Amino acid sequence: MDSPSVTSPATWSSVHELLAVLAVEGTAGSIVDCGAGTGATLATIARRAPGSALTALDVDESALEKLVRRLPQVRVVRHDLARPLPLPDGGVDVVVSHNTLECLVEPAALLADVARVLRPGGRAVLGHTDFETIVVTIDDRDLARRVLLTYAELQILNGEGLATGVPDRGLGRFGRGSCR
């Protein structure tokens, strides 16, 4: 990573633990992660339910390559979630998706398709971080200000559908927005 660390690994790992607990409760069947990234959630699910059939969907090829190296047992499909899921009707036990719906222009279309692929009684576990409530507790006060200002501007620009316009404050990928 080329930018300073601005998140606590302990916090992120507990988010993925929570998603995994909700995903595997009462099932060790088929679990699909929409916007799996490098596999943070699926890694936790794989530890909790080793017998599950896991599928990762994401449009980012480099993220999926990392996921395959990390979790060779996962079926990986490069897929744009703006298009219908490459899955048959009613065949999936659980769909999980974390911090991805907000990346889509039409999140409701994905949700409708998630309902299509879930079996009757299947479960969708959707997680979203409320970034506006993040507390930055780091000694470097200049860095803290740059992070908060950048994030506030990203929220406004994303809300207006704009991908650019945030001044470069030397924060690397974080400063350019984190969805893609």
Ligand X SMILES: C[S@@+](CC[C@H](N)C(=O)[O-])C[C@H]1O[C@@H](n2cnc3c(N)ncnc32)[C@H](O)[C@@H]1O
| Using rule CB under 6 A, residue 82 touches ligand X | yes
| Using rule CB under 6 A, residue 136 touches ligand X | no
> What track of x and - describes contact with ligand X for positions 26 through 55 (by CB under 6 A)?
---------xxx--xx--------------
Distance CA 13, CA 30 (A): 22
Q: From the CB of 40, what's the least distance to ligand X, in Å? A: 4
SS (H, E, C) the chain: CCCCCCCCHHHHHHHHHHHHHHHHCCCCCEEEEECCCCCHHHHHHHHHCCCCEEEEEECCHHHHHHHHHHCCCCEEEECCCCCCCCCCCCCEEEEEEECCHHHCCCHHHHHHHHHHHEEEEEEEEEECCCHHHCCCCCCCHHHHHHHHHHHHHHHHHHHCCCCCCCCCCCCHHHHHCCCC
| Using rule CB under 6 A, residue 180 touches ligand X | yes
Q: From the CB of 124, what's the least distance to ligand X, in Å? A: 14
The strand pairing partners of 47, in sequence order, are none
Q: From the CB of 43, what's the least distance to ligand X, in Å? A: 10
| Using rule CB under 6 A, residue 117 touches ligand X | no
| Using rule CB under 6 A, residue 141 touches ligand X | no
For ligand X, which residue of 18, 68, 103, 157 counts as binding (CB under 6 A)? 103
Q: Closest-CB residue for ligand X?
A: 37
Of residues 15 and 53, the one with the C-beta less far from ligand X: 15
List of residues contacting ligand X (CB under 6 A): 35-37, 40-41, 58-60, 63, 80-82, 98-100, 103-104, 178-180
